[in-house]
C-alpha cells in the first residue's frame, strides 16, 4: 500500500508570494491533517479535514488555509508569505478516529 505522498518536496519562495502544497493520503484514509515543524516551535497542528470538511483547526492566522477533495487528496495554501513561514510542512492521514496518523515526508518551504 502506498504511503502518504506530499509534493513538492522542496519549495523556495519570496516574501509576499503565496504557495500551495499537496498531499495524497493512504488509499482509504478519509482524514488528512497538516502540521508545521520548525526548530523553535516544534510540531504544531494546522488543521484536519475529513470528508471534505474542516474538522479541527489549530492557532494559525487566516493566511493558512486548506481544502480536501472528494478523493481525499488535500491541499494547503499559505498566502502573503512571511520569513517565519519557513518550515517543514507535514501531512498525515488516518483511517478512522483513534487510529494512528501516518505521515508523509513533508514539504520543506524556504522563504527568502
Which residues would be at the binding site for another protein (CB under 8 A)? 4, 6, 33, 35, 42-43, 45, 48, 50, 55-56, 58, 90, 92, 97-98, 100-106
Q: Which three cell numbers stand for residue 24?
A: 495524497
Least Å from the CB of residue 60 to another protein = 13
Contact 107/88 with Cβ under 8 angstroms? Answer: yes
- Shorter beta-carbon distance to another protein: residue 15 or 57: 57
- Shorter beta-carbon distance to another protein: residue 14 or 99: 99
Least Å from the CB of residue 105 to another protein = 5
Least Å from the CB of residue 16 to another protein = 28
Nearest to 27 by CA among 107, 94, 98: 94
Amino acid at each position: 500500500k502506498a504511503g502518504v505522498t506530499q509534493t513538492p518536496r522542496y519549495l523556495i519562495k519570496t516574501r509576499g508570494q503565496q504557495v500551495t502544497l499537496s498531499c495524497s493520503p493512504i488509499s482509504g484514509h478519509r482524514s488528512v491533517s497538516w502540521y508545521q515543524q520548525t526548530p523553535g516551535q516544534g510540531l504544531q497542528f494546522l488543521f484536519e479535514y475529513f470528508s471534505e470538511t474542516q474538522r479541527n483547526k489549530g492557532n494559525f492566522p487566516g493566511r493558512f488555509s486548506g481544502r480536501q477533495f472528494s478523493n481525499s487528496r488535500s491541499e494547503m495554501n499559505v498566502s502573503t508569505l512571511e520569513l517565519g513561514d519557513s518550515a517543514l510542512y507535514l501531512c498525515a492521514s488516518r483511517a478512522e478516529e483513534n487510529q494512528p496518523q501516518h505521515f508523509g515526508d513533508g514539504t520543506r518551504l524556504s522563504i527568502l
